[in-house]
Amino acid sequence: MAQKVGFIGVGIMGKPMAGQLITAGHTVYVYDRAEAPVQELVKSGAVACTSAAEVAGKAELIFLMLPDTPDVEEALFGQNGVASGVRSGSIVVDMSSISPIPTREFARKLEGMGVEMLDAPVSGGQIGAQNATLSIMVGGKAQIFDRVKPFFELMGKNIVLIGGNGDGQVCKVANQVVVALTLEAVSEALVMASKAGTDVAKVREALLGGFAQSKILEVHGERMIKRTFAPGFRVRLHQKDLNIALQTARNLGVSMPNTATAQELFNSLAADGGADLDHSSMIKALEKMANHAIGKDKNADKK
C-alpha cells in the first residue's frame, strides 16, 4: 500500500535510496540543501520541500541520510527542523552513520514529543544503494522495526535489528573498523606484490579464491588496481566514522591500535588533497611510503 514518506538528505547515498521508495510507488517528500539531487528525484516523481519541517509535516515516516552527528541534530532540532513540523505518532528513521551516544539522546527527545525513532545506518556504499542491496543495522523498539521493515526491504537485503536505540550505530562503528583495517591490509599486500614485480591483477585473482577472499578485495582491490577513485564513500566520511570509533573506544576503555593506524593513513591522504576520493584510495598513502604506485598510469599517480 502506497504511503507518504519523507526523505531528508539525498546525496550520493540518499538519492538512490529515496529513488527505491519512489519506484515502489510511495509518495516521497524530499529535502536537501543541494537543489540538483532534489530536482533529479522530482523528475522521478518525488515532491520537493523547502525544509525538514515541511517534510515532517507531510509524512509520518521520515528518513534521514546525512553526513555527521551535527547535521542530524540540526535537521531534527534546528531552525525549521523535523521537530518544528512533526506530528505525534510519526516515526523518524536516521540512516546516517553518527555517534551512538547522541543518537540515544535524540531518541529520548523525540519520544518526549510522541515520536518514535530508529537508528538504521547502512553498509554497501553507492552501489548497494543503487542496487537495493544495502546491509541495514537497526537500533530501536522491535514493534517499530516491524512497521518500518517493509521500507527497509526496498533499500536493502541484510536487515538486522541489533538492539535498542544507538545499537545500530554501535554496529556501524564496528563495520567501519573492519572495512578500514581490511582496506589497509589489501593496500599493503598489493603494494608489496607490485614492488616485487608481480602482476597485482593476478595476485588479486588468486587471493579471491582463497582464505583471504573478501568483498573489499573483490570491489576495492579492483578499484586500487584500475585507479578508479571517484567517490562511492569518501575518505572524509570514513575519517568521521573512525573518529567515532576511537572516541567510543576511549569512553569504554578499549584499545584499538590498528584502527588508529588506519585513521592516520586516511589523515595523511586527506592532508595530501584526497579527502573527497573514495576510501579505497587509502592505498595511495602506502604507495607514497613505498615510493611505488601500482596499477595503470603509475607515473601519473606519483607525487
For residue 275, the SS3 value is coil
The catalytic position among 4, 15, 172, 226 is: 172
Return the C-alpha cell found at 196. Answer: 616485487
Cα separation of 135 and 171, whole Å? 11
Q: Residue 26: what residue type?
A: H
| Burial degree of 293 (CB within 10 A; 0-12, 13-18, 19+) | buried
Residue among 18, 2, 1, 22 nearest 10 (CA): 18
Provide the b/e sequence for 214-225 (b: ≥16 CB within 10 Å): bebbeebbebbb
| Burial degree of 200 (CB within 10 A; 0-12, 13-18, 19+) | buried
CB 223 within 8 A of CB 126: no
Q: Where are the beta strands (DSSP E) in the chain?
A: 4-8, 27-31, 47-48, 61-64, 91-94, 116-119, 122-123, 134-139, 156-163
For residue 278, the SS3 value is strand
| Burial degree of 32 (CB within 10 A; 0-12, 13-18, 19+) | buried
CB 168 within 8 A of CB 120: yes
User: Known catalytic residue: 298?
Assistant: no
Cα separation of 265 and 285, whole Å? 6
- Residues labelled as active-site residues: 172
